[in-house]
Amino acid sequence: MTPIIQKEPTGCGIAACAALAGLDYDTARTRAAALGIHAADRTLWSQTAHVRALLTELGIEAVAGEQPFTGWDALPDRALLAIKWREIDGVPFWHWVVFVRTAFDAVVLDSKAALKTNVRRDFGRMAPKWFIRIHPT
């Protein structure tokens, strides 16, 4: 799985779904738009419904509900993580990233364009709040 770079400042949810589906950003953005999902919509990164709808559209099965993050070793092999969680005027916001564990490595795929590398292993610098388990394909 490779990281997909978001082409819009608020496109992390679309990019995370694209990475999980093995699609490029533009294709995922087009599929999202057909569902009425746009990066400019603040609910894309303050609610889970849009990302869940896009995952379903892309044929990716996610477990219902969110689970609290308790540690990196407790994560499933594939998960959407909510990092940079904060509240603004009582509304929660976060940045979507993808966690992937293989037999050889565990990484976070981060879509933020300004990063030196979008394959992250600096787990101590990230503070996930919760995650959505992604079923293996």
Give the per-residue pLDDT at 45. 72
Which of 72 and 46 is assigned the larger pLDDT?
72
**Through-space distance between the first and last CA atoms of the chain, rounded to whole angstroms:** 12
Give burial (CB, 10 Å; 0-12/13-18/19+) of 78.
buried
Contact 13, 54 (CB under 8 A): yes
* Residue 97 in this model has a pLDDT that exceeds 80: yes
E strand or H helix at 101:
strand 91-101
Measured CA to CA, the distance from residue 118 to residue 115 in angstroms comes to 6
Q: The tokens 């999980």 sit on which residue?
A: 20
Q: What percent of the chain has pLDDT over 70?
A: 99
pLDDT tens digits for range 20-68 = 999 999 999 999 999 999 988 877 777 899 999 999 999 999 999 999 9
**Bridge partners for 93 per DSSP:** 86
Phi, psi of 106 (to 5 degrees): -135, 135
Residue 76 has pLDDT above 80, yes or no: yes
pLDDT band at 136 (very low <50, low <70, confident <90, very high): confident
Radius of gyration of the chain (CA): 14
Over residues 83-109, the mean pLDDT reads 93
Tell me what the mean pLDDT of segment 112-135 comes to.
Answer: 95
More confident residue, 76 or 136: 76
**Residue type, position 31, single letter:** R
Confidence of residue 102 (pLDDT cuts 50, 70, 90): very high
Among residues 54, 60, 61, 50, which one has the least CA distance to residue 27?
54
Q: What angle do CA 111, 115, 119 make, to 5 degrees?
A: 60
Q: Chain-wide mean pLDDT for the chain?
A: 94
Domain positions in the chain = 12-133
pTM of the predicted protein model: 0.94
